[in-house]
């Protein structure tokens, strides 16, 4: 079985409007136990992403007031995405090439979910475990 992006993505991700304050974003990220939030336009179109690193480096480290800074002021706008049908190997390769830990998964211009580096590692481990089990079953016992 070949895994594709839609098989490994997280469907439950945090989506915030661009006018959300950084302090509110941090509260929602904490409540949902997420290290990032996808930032969308008023029409729901993804425009950027804000990570815990953005909060630290662009707000806290610079002494800015998180209650007045908007997520749109600190979001990364260069979103990396894949089609839902892209293979697992291409997903991993793209993440490595671009140096990103998160990819948006699209189908027909709709965001279906997000793939994170931790998902890729977990799926890779599952795959290795399955292959190892198959190899072990095929090997004849040494007498």
**What is d(CA 24, CA 87) in angstroms, rounded to the nearest whole number?**
36
Which residue shows structure tokens 């992403």? Answer: 49
Quote the pLDDT of residue 1. Answer: 59
Quote the pLDDT of residue 140. Answer: 67
**What is d(CA 25, CA 40) in angstroms, rounded to the nearest whole number?**
13
Strand order of the β-sheet with 102-107 is 81-83, 102-107, 110-116
Return per-residue pLDDT of the chain as tens, 143 residues.
578 999 999 999 999 999 999 999 999 999 999 999 999 998 888 999 999 999 999 999 999 999 999 999 999 999 999 999 999 999 999 999 999 999 999 998 789 999 999 999 988 888 888 888 888 888 866 66
Domain ranges of the chain: 5-138
What is the pTM (predicted TM-score) of this model?
0.83
Residue 64 three-state SS: coil
DSSP 114: E
CATH 3.40.30.10, applies to 5-138: no
Quote the pLDDT of residue 33. Answer: 95
**What is d(CA 138, CA 132) in angstroms, rounded to the nearest whole number?**
10
**What is d(CA 104, CA 116) in angstroms, rounded to the nearest whole number?**
9
**What is d(CA 71, CA 20) in angstroms, rounded to the nearest whole number?**
6
């Amino acid at each position: 079985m070949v895994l594709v992006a839609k098989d490994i993505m997280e469907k439950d991700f945090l989506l915030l409007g661009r006018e959300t304050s950084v302090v509110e974003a941090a509260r929602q990220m904490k409540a949902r136990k997420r290290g990032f939030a996808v930032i969308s336009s008023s029409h729901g179109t993804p425009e950027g992403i804000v990570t815990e690193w953005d909060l630290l480096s662009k707000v806290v480290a610079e002494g800015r007031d998180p209650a007045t800074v908007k997520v749109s002021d600190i979001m990364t706008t260069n979103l990396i995405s894949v089609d839902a049908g892209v293979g697992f190997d291409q997903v991993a390769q793209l993440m490595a090439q671009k140096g990103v830990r998160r990819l948006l998964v699209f189908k027909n211009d709709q965001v279906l979910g997000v793939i994170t580096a931790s998902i890729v590692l977990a799926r890779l481990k599952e795959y290795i475990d399955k292959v190892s089990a198959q190899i072990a079953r095929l090997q004849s016992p040494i007498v």
